[in-house]
A and B are shown apart, each in its own frame.
Chain A
């Protein structure tokens, strides 16, 4: 299997001829392939209201809540699909969904 530059694919720099056969790609590659461009609303965290309960981190179906130092949380906008589950489960309403 020829080395495939996944970053090029992620940038849209490819044709059907240059894509790897049947999408067989050297791992790990999913980090390069951003999947958030179908998001309509994005979650925004108001850090002053956050009590670091990590419910959003547990519930996010796309592992798009990143845990930082001391239990702080942040949204990974490269992969967040904007489903709003984090905002729904946040007990202090620290997360608001805002239009892109």
Chain B
């Protein structure tokens, strides 16, 4: 094996892969507070800094609220900034999430998706990120460790794009990805440096030429600032695609806002986020071998929501199962389900749709679960409908 090949292949846990990407991104500031299952990310980073492998300020804050507040100051001062959290930590950051995005602070945050208390639970679900869904961040989801690494690198480029200056969250399923060792291909440091060179923040804090940041806007101006922000969000897909194209040229790996698997001629499509997409893909392949026309749609970019691309994929699909690893209690259904329903309605489409709430608090989603859902969908096509609109999948009744 040549030396080149050797350094390109690694076996890392999801958390380690993220930390490695952050090191290669040569960040200037890391401000964080440790929380399971993210802890390994900041542990590795603090070690890189202590060992002199990464020249950055590592700031251990007294809480997540402070960690993200530090990140805002650091990003506006022009430093490349990273933080990481999960679950309760993300909840504690909540008000600062809005401030970071609306002050246009380019920050990359890895979120090791985990359930929220109570009952106390440290395992995977998407309740944390769904609570932060509308905070004006770009939300990306990794399906595997390779993607967690790749998306972390791309997140810096997207976040720091001068047309955006919007913080990005990279979501990876707690334990399922954060603590699983997978083989991955990494880029060389020089390739990363060329891909994401350090560019100055265009509105950098400058004592010689000061600006007022985070000023007050009364009812006469506030709404215009929000409209302005939405306009920036509309530019995200273009920047995302530009970034993924460039990433392809150095890595050979293709990324789109959606992962479409066997969807072209599918009668039934399952839609999901995160590592479950991999499980579904495996099972879909088995079904295809038996000529059963199922497909899988994963969202790599969840916010901004790729509505147009999604309805295009679903155009001729008769039956849809949406998998939600979070729930809107007392609401219409899970968050992904309501997004999909709204997109279908807006585009005049009326396929058979049901919501499958699954995997809360880390309950395993097995190959057999996936098989059963595919079979339910085929039956729903025969019967022209599911037996119900919302399934609490695998709950002991």
The answer, yes or no, to whether A68 is at the interface (CB within 8 Å) is: no
Within 8 A of B (CB), among A1-45: 1, 9, 12, 14-17, 19, 21-30, 33, 35, 37-38
CA distance A28 to B165 in the complex (A): 24
| Contact A19 B220, CB 8 Å, known A27-B211, A29-B215, A30-B215 | no
Q: Count chain A residues whose beta carbon lies closer than 8 angstroms to a beta carbon of B.
A: 22
- For the A-B complex, the count of residue pairs with Cβ-Cβ distances under 8 Å equals 65
A9 and B217 alpha carbons, distance in the complex (Å): 11
Closest to A14 in B: B224
Q: Which of B205-228 contact A (CB under 8 A)?
A: 210-218, 220-221, 223-225, 227-228
Residues of chain A lying within 8 A (CB to CB) of residue B227: 16
B218 x A25 contact (CB < 8 A)? no
Among A17, A19, A24, contact of B212 (Cβ-Cβ < 8 Å) = A24
Task: Using known A-B contacts A22-B102, A24-B203, A35-B218, determine if residue A16 contacts B225 with beta carbons closer than 8 Å.
Answer: yes
Taking CB atoms, residues of chain B closer than 8 Å to A25 are: 211-212, 215
B104 interface residue, CB < 8 Å from A? yes
Interface status of B231 (Cβ within 8 A of chain A): yes
B181 adjacent to chain A (CB < 8 Å): no
Contacting pair B221 A1 (CB below 8 A):
no
**How many whole Å from B214's CB to the nearest CB in chain A?**
7
By beta carbon, the residue of chain A nearest B215 is A23
B49: CB under 8 A from chain A? no
Q: Is B349 an interface residue (CB 8 A)?
A: no
List chain A residues, Cβ under 8 A from B229.
Answer: 22
Interface majority SS (helix, strand, loop, mixed), chain A: loop
Please tell me if the beta carbons of B210 and A19 are within 8 angstroms of each other in the complex.
no
Instruction: Knowing A22-B102, A24-B203 are in contact, say whether A1-B224 is a contact too (CB < 8 A).
Output: no
B104:A19 contact, CB within 8 angstroms: no
Given A22-B103, A22-B104, does the pair A27, B221 have CB atoms closer than 8 Å? no
Q: Assuming the A-B contacts A21-B104, A22-B102, A22-B104, are A15 and B224 also in contact, with contact meaning beta carbons closer than 8 angstroms in the complex?
A: yes
Interface string of B76-115 (1 = CB under 8 A from A): 0000000000000000000000000011100000000000
Q: How far is the CA of A75 from the CA of B221 in the complex (A)?
A: 25
A16-B225, A22-B165 given; name 15 further pairs at CB < 8 Å. Answer: A1-B211, A14-B221, A15-B224, A16-B224, A19-B225, A21-B165, A22-B102, A23-B214, A24-B203, A24-B211, A24-B213, A29-B215, A30-B212, A30-B216, A33-B216
A-B pairs, top 7 by smallest CB distance, nearest first, are A16-B224, A16-B227, A22-B104, A16-B228, A27-B212, A24-B211, A23-B215
Residues of A bordering B, CB below 8 Å: 1, 9, 12, 14-17, 19, 21-30, 33, 35, 37-38
Contacts A/B (CB < 8 Å), 29 sampled: A14-B224, A16-B223, A16-B225, A16-B227, A16-B228, A16-B231, A19-B225, A19-B228, A21-B104, A21-B228, A22-B102, A22-B103, A22-B165, A22-B203, A22-B228, A23-B213, A23-B214, A23-B217, A23-B225, A24-B104, A24-B203, A24-B213, A25-B211, A25-B212, A26-B212, A28-B212, A29-B215, A30-B216, A35-B218
